[in-house]
Amino acid sequence: MLLTLTWGALFFPGLFALCTWGLRRARPEWTDTDCVMISTRLVSSVQAVLATGSGIIIIRSCSDVITDRHWLAREYIWFLVPYMIYDTYAMYLCEWYRTRDQNHRHSLTTFQNFLSKNRLMITHHAVILFVLVPVAQKLRGDLGDFFVGCIFTAELSTPFVSLGRVLIQLKQQHSLLYKVNGILTLTTFLSCRILLFPFMYWSYGRQQGLSLLRVPFSIPFYCNVANAFLIAPQIYWFSLLCKKAARLFDTPPAKKDG
């Protein structure tokens, strides 16, 4: 555990620093804000690829969705803990870079603005750290590695979300790449963050000889409550993505002067 936590604490901030340094050298015309924000998205994408890969390995290794074990189901969670702490700080750093023209110091106002603009994401990170990590590492005992793997694969949509934000940062939101990436974002988000939950119910029902509709009534009530809390923000974020996609395809590209 301690070794995995240490590697995570070194890997994610180190990768962020390396990306920021590399972008400043490779793209000297970019501002510090561009380099920091794009580096944050790159690190998030790397974490998402690692999480998704770990999830796929776990799912493929667990033929029994209840009792089969895989070491990644526990070790990757310890690797994820430093990332959540790093990512919270990285979000604050992005907010500071956005507002540093008005205030060159890390002020209380900047921190308050950060909390206000990112309250849902901060809550999401806090729930993972203080609720999901204890549940996944201690309270569930030796059961359910398959479902932990499924939750890991929810990160599949993150690289596409990150690419979309990078393209916006670079003012490429009217490009073909942005539109194609938008379709991929919606597809992966729907598949791996919303339809993932019916898939987990179906997988359990198939093993137990139950239909999908009977599964919610055949598992402990707290499991249904936990899944409801997990899927609720995903549905909200998906609705926001759909609204952005609708505006994108309804709004013609702005005409360039000259």
Specify the pLDDT at position 246. 82
What pLDDT does residue 169 have? 86
pLDDT at 104: 57
Taking the chain (258 residues) in runs of 10, the rounded mean pLDDT of each run is 92 96 92 91 96 96 93 94 94 83 64 82 88 88 92 94 90 89 94 94 94 93 90 91 79 48
Task: State residue 258's pLDDT score.
Answer: 40
State the SS3 of the chain: CHHHHHHHHHHHHHHHHHHHHHHHHHCCCCCHHHHHHHHHHHHHHHHHHHHHHHHHHHHHHCCCCCCCCCCHHHHHHHHHHHHHHHHHHHHHHHHHHHHCCCCCCCCHHHHHHHHHHCHHHHHHHHHHHHHHHHHHHHHCCCCCHHHHHHHHHHHHHHHHHHHHHHHHHCCCCCCHHHHHHHHHHHHHHHHHHHCHHHHHHHHHHHHHCCCHHHHHHCCCHHHHHHHHHHHHHHHHHHHHHHHHHHHHHHCCCCCCCC
Per-residue pLDDT, 256: 45
